[in-house]
A and B are shown apart, each in its own frame.
Chain A
Amino acid sequence: MKPLLKNSSILLAVILLVALTLPLYAGEYYIHIGVMVLFYAYMAVAWNILGGYAGQHSLGHSLFMGIGAYTSTYLFSVMGITPWLGMWVGGALAGVMGLFVGYLCFRYGLKGPYFALVTIALAEAAVYIATNAEGIGGAQGLSVAWTGNAPEMMQFNGKGGYYYVILVMTVAAIVLSTWIIRRRFGYQLLAVRENEDAAEALGVDTLRVKVQASIISAMLTALGGTFFAQYFTYINPRNVFGEGPSIQILLFAIIGGLGTVWGPVVGALVLVPVAELSRGWLGGSFSGAHILLYGTVMVLVMLFMPNGIVGLYEKIRQRIQNRNEKSEVA
């Protein structure tokens, strides 16, 4: 047990060191891939709190991403308020939405595919509302006005600045997610996922913890939405509220390993570079290449390793451990 722990903290330190220094030696293109890895890791970690820990699988998390992206972009472009502030306004709005959605669904006992369907419907409804709301750009969407290299406006020359912003956000999200899972709230969420009746019988206020998870997950996702808008400088109803972003938010958590702290991060770390590189190589001739890859990996993971990469790793580790124990006995 001990040496394993030591190994993993060394590994963690190395990864963190590489992550911290990447922009110093990597070119813009590789920094961009780094940004994408971190962004999707961040979103997957956020989704995982409701989807993985509490086991309530939202297929419409773009609802919250869109609220975050639109709020900060509107405040910035129309009123000149810095996204550093706007992201928290968006986060708060998304939190309220998370409360509303969570309470509504869980109060009426929606589970499994039914919860998934409601979340899709809400996100799709948001697409059409945003499309028809001319005040926020309608179908055209909103552009983030370029104000030059202005860190106070979350705008940077080059990609390095964005890289560090999302790095800090991702590390913070991982810390939060780790902290949650080690305390009462986290245990109660897992219990709800595993067996709701049993949890309730043991004094877990299942409705309350599910709604809380929904609020936290929604807020974090919205903060990611603001980053998305700042980085790509353009948002429209489909690319922030649509089905595409919804699936990309949860994809890496599923592939990496649902309900674990590191699953979402590992999923993004393994898959995003492959997808981004393949997109780069195949270029415009094959525009859906990365999504095709995601879909295929998703199907294969569900068929052959439903607990994701981390789940598979745990299984192998346990098998080795068991074998060692047996040989010690013998």
Chain B
Amino acid sequence: MLEVSKLRRDFGGLTAVHDLTFKVEAGEIVGLIGPNGAGKTTTFSMLAGFIPPTSGDIVFQGKSILGLKPHQVCKLGVTRTFQIVQPFPDMTILENVMVGAYARYTGTVDARRKALEVLERVNLAHKANTLGKNLNLLELKRLEIGKALATEPSLLLLDEVAAGLKDAEVDNILVLVRQLNKEGITFLIVEHLMKVIMNLSHRVIVLDFGQMIAQGTPDEITKDPAVLEAYLGKEA
């Protein structure tokens, strides 16, 4: 579904992402992990069209999406969420999600129906008329997923969607993602919480200094010496 080849991004003299090549198959949940500054969020931003790669290619469903703007990438079926939640603060939750739904539905009636459907899915239906600025963190994280979901993505890029949540809340998110995956949405997730990655991912890609140092099932990854080195080595 998604083929990333030799993706590279330089910031000044620094290389944030270095010749990254990987694939995501339809129906998968792929975890992207790595220490701080490994280039995960930069990779996400490039995939979603927010920053142009210095070189390399991104192919989605057989077509290169290089050079497309974020809204065009979204229309093709790739939607991202943000690590730092980005609600529309002075719009209601329903309106927040409707903005996403409008990516697929031009009519307001349809967009509202879609948004209400999504709100049920992310357990925010009871908050439909609350303003974005009046939500707590868990609700904001749910809203972040809800907005993205309303665009009916085939590939959803989740950026640290569990960060800052309590254990029970994290479990909520896990259940939701697994369900959505069963319904056919492919996921690429960046996450710091190992619990999330290990529980959800079919496959994990490990980045360090912008390069892929390992990939495999969660089990394989935890035994990979290169990964242990990257995560533990520096402190040892």
Contacts and interface: CB of A to CB of B under 8 A. Distances in A.
Task: Give yes or no for direct A-B contact (beta carbon below 8 Å).
Answer: yes
A201 B48 contact: yes
Interface stretch (A18-26, A79-87, A185-193, A286-294): A185-193
Contacts of B81: 201
B209 interface: no
B113 interface: no
A266 to B, nearest CB: 18
B231 interface: no
Interface in A284-304: none
Interface stretch (B53-61, B71-79, B199-207): B71-79
Contacts, number: 86
A204 B71 contact: yes
6 contacts: A184-B102, A187-B102, A200-B50, A201-B50, A202-B79, A204-B99
A183 interface: yes
Nearest to A207: B69
B151 interface: yes
A194 B147 CA distance: 14
Interface string A162-205: 00000000000000000000111001101100110111111111
A201 B82 contact: yes
**The 5 residue pairs across chains A and B that have the minimum distance between CB atoms:** A203-B103, A194-B88, A198-B86, A203-B74, A200-B70
A52 to B, nearest CB: 11
Q: Which of A190, A198, A204 has the most CB of B within 10 A?
A: A198
A202 B147 contact: yes
Contact of B50 (A191, A195, A197): A197
A187 B148 CA distance: 16
A33 to B, nearest CB: 33
A197 B50 CA distance: 8
A206 interface: yes
Given A198-B86, A198-B147, A202-B74, 20 more contacts: A184-B102, A188-B102, A190-B91, A191-B91, A194-B89, A194-B132, A197-B70, A200-B71, A200-B74, A201-B48, A201-B50, A201-B71, A201-B80, A202-B71, A202-B79, A202-B150, A203-B71, A203-B74, A204-B71, A205-B71
B99 A191 contact: yes
Q: Which of A191, A200, A203, A259 has the most CB of B within 10 A?
A: A203
Contacts of A191: 88, 91, 99
A306 B148 CA distance: 31
B172 interface: no
A288 B27 CA distance: 69
Contacts of B98: 187
B106 interface: yes
Given A203-B151, A204-B71, A198 B82 contact: yes
Given A195-B87, A197-B82, A198-B82, A203 B100 contact: yes
